[in-house]
Amino acid sequence: MAALGRLSQALLKSSVTQSRRQLSAAAAGHGEQSAKTWKILTFLVALPGVGVCMLNTFLKEHSHDRPEFVPYSHLRIRSKRFPWGDGNKSLFHNAHVNALPDGYEGHDE
């Protein structure tokens, strides 16, 4: 009985190693084709996509139109003063695009 178990283990190991060899031989050719495919995708899809996104960001960044102030009651609620400055502006306040509860600061447009 033990001999039968050893024989089945030996046959199983040989079939597993043989199938691994076949898979690795098939994968060697596939790896080269896969690398070429990813290289083509990188240069024809990814890099132009990054360029288009950079252009879009650059063009939108340079539009200097301030959005119209609408005094919605649920926005810019101050239940407690901020511990810095005058207590009304957030830590990263930008006077050009961030409105205060009563409107934009600076000159009226």
Give the per-residue pLDDT at 83. Answer: 92
End-to-end Cα spacing for the chain: 96
Q: Which residue has the tokens 């050009």?
A: 96
The whole-angstrom separation of Cα 37 and Cα 50 is: 19
Q: What does the pLDDT profile of the chain (109 residues) look like in tens digits?
A: 677 677 677 766 766 566 565 655 555 667 889 999 999 999 999 999 999 999 999 888 776 777 788 888 888 888 899 899 888 888 999 888 888 888 888 755 5
Give the per-residue pLDDT at 1. Answer: 67
pTM of the model: 0.40
The whole-angstrom separation of Cα 108 and Cα 50 is: 38
Give the per-residue pLDDT at 53. Answer: 96
